[in-house]
Structure 1
Amino acid sequence: MPKDMRQGAETNWQVIGEGERPALAIHCMLGSGEMWTPVLAPLGAQTSATTFDLPGHGKSAPWTPETVEPGAYQRLAAQIAASFIERPVDLIGHSFGASVALRIAVAAPEAVRSLTLVEPVLFKAAEGSAEWQELRPHQDHLDELMQTRQYEEAARRFMRAWGTGQEWDTLPPHQRARFIAQMEIVANVTPSNFDDPGQITREGGMEQIDAPVLLVYGDRSPPISARVCEAIAARLPDVGTACVPGAGHMLPLTHAQQLTDLIALNLDRS
């Protein structure tokens, strides 16, 4: 796997497939680029998909922020992702990675051939909805845990809501330690999800995306997931949505084949 400097951050990346169509896939918070391999490898005759480890994830260097500005991490992630785009790509993102992908598509719609967003966590899009109001107290408690540096309990609660469903105490110790260490990143990302400092939801932004968009969520995900997808879809000119039965938030890990098939459908639309 290559590793080089991207936007001042040592970044690990790989290419999956040898197809003619360039693709770029962005992973979720607390994940890694390798998560995309079972999803994208079956499309390898059609696409050459670049995946990379976000700062502080996988084999990329730890995140050493130059600023504590809320949302700084999302901006850096978008800049790193954009550095891999040389011509219009099939852009794919999961969770936090889906929000980053949408930020790129809003900023540079001409750079996107198709856009697949899996469980985007851009909660700002559904602000004020019943699902948002249900989520907010849980997030407030998580924020308090992170502000008081109770990172282990914060990681436990985060994984309970947004993980694969595996019990915290059954995770290998090295994984628990890594998730605990990454809670500082989660703390910086939270304002990106709720307040949208990157202005992804600004008036007229999403409406300029003319590439085919597919929004995917699981029927066992937190209710806010479906509401966010619905809110984003309502603003896009060429969009489809898909609900995967039996799936929670971590679709790339738990329902890789179904996700591969859905991405393939969106590729065919472009």
Structure 2
Amino acid sequence: MKDLSPVHVRTLGQGARNVLALHCTIAHSGAWSGLAAALEGEATLIAPDMLSHGRSPDWDGQGDFFDLATEAAVAQLTEPMDVIGHSFGGMIALRLAVEHPELIRSAVLIEPVFFAVAKQDAPDLMAKHDHEAQPYTDALAAGDMALAARLFNRMWSTDDSPRWPDLPERTRAAMVRGVHVVPAVEDVLFQDQKGLLSPGVLDRAAMPVLILSGSRTHPVMPVIAQGLQRRLPDAHCAVVEGAGHMLPISHPQDTARLVRQFWQDVGSR
């Protein structure tokens, strides 16, 4: 196994509940700061930076990126913990729940980008998504990472999100740095390369699961959430009103309220 010790890990908050927090593509572990503050006193978030993100080193293009990200996350599971994952981080969280159920007490999947679910359940909506994604897909294929990051960010933002020129240069540079991992996980997200949708596989994730979506997100995301709810043994969905795909960053208080209620419900069983 590749040495993952250089991966940077940030600790946020001070609470009795240890939570593994997995950020989305072209973000970093600091994206959990708002949620950690909203959960202050209840949870300690252990948040690794993926390779090519945050303070972790760049991915050298060798090996399977999804495997490397999953291995880095597993390294933080020193005891049974709760996990929260956003977007691609939600995919890592789902895989942890399937492959290491003894170490996952509960899982919160925030807008998990498991497009293979939508391809099965709503192929028309997936076709719409693919059409809208074509510009940044073309930019990636052309090697124009700056344009790809800009278009990728715009597609997953809402109308009132900051425009690309208004973002700090450091933020834009970080997005450009990380966007090259997007095509590296395409087969995982769109074709279910790891076989998570194979018969019986998701049954292994028997712990309580909460799947969160924003009410203003891309229409394919609720389809994925509902599809996972039907396929997982103990899952339910909730919606953060007024939020888009970036809901843990844009609506940390509302997200925290739903997460806190979920943990309370789990604890009362």
Normalising by the residue count of structure 2, what TM-score does the alignment of the two structures yield?
Answer: 0.90
Question: How do 1:1-20 residues align onto structure 2 when only pairs under 5 Å count?
Answer: 7-8=3-4, 10-20=6-16
CA distance in 1, matches of 2:115, 2:3: 27
Q: Which among 223, 229, 252 is matched to residue 233 of structure 1? A: 229
Q: Superposition pairs for residues 45-60 of structure 1, below 5 Å?
A: 45-60=41-56
**Deviation of 1:28 (Å):** 0.4
Q: Alpha-carbon deviations, 1:176-224, whole Å to 9, x = none?
A: 2332232211221222211122222222121222211100001111111
**Is the 2:7–2:51 contact (alpha carbons within 8 Å) kept by the matching residues of 1?**
yes
- Residues in 2 aligned to 1:41 and 1:21: alpha-carbon distance in whole angstroms: 14
C-alpha displacement at 1:141, in angstroms? 4.0
Query: Match of 2:139, as an amino acid?
Result: L
Letter in 1 for 2:29: G
Residue 145 in structure 1 maps to residue 164 in structure 2? no
| 1:264 positional shift | 0.8
Amino acid at match of 1:82: V
Specify the alignment match of 2:240 in structure 1. Answer: 244
Matched, 1:79 2:75: no
Task: Note if contact 1:114-1:211 (Cα within 8 Å) is conserved in structure 2.
Answer: yes
Name segments (4+ residues, structure 1) moved above 6 Å.
none
Counterpart of 1:107 in structure 2 is: 99
- Residues of 1 paired with 2:212 and 2:14: CA distance? 25
CA contact 1:90–1:267 (8 Å) conserved in 2: no
Distance 1:16 1:179, change over 3 A: closer
Q: Which one-letter code corresponds to 1:162 in the other structure?
A: W
- Judge conservation of contact 2:17–2:44 (CA < 8 Å) in 1: yes
Partner of 1:30: 26
In structure 1, the residue matched to 2:211 is: 215
Which deviates more from structure 2 when the two are superposed, residues 84-93 or residues 158-167? 158-167
CA distance in 2, matches of 1:212, 1:117: 11
TM-superposed deviation, 1:131:
1.6
Structure-1 residue corresponding to 2:196? 200
Quick check: 1:7–1:80 contact (8 Å CA) kept in 2?
A: no
Gaps of 5+ in 2: none
Overall identity of the aligned pairs, in %: 31
Q: Point out where structure 1 has 5 or more consecutive residues left out of the alignment.
A: 1-5
Aligned equivalents of 1:25, 1:114: Cα separation in 2: 12
Structure 1 163/234 Cα, relative in aligned 2: closer, same or farther at 3 Å? Answer: same
- RMSD value, Cα: 1.8
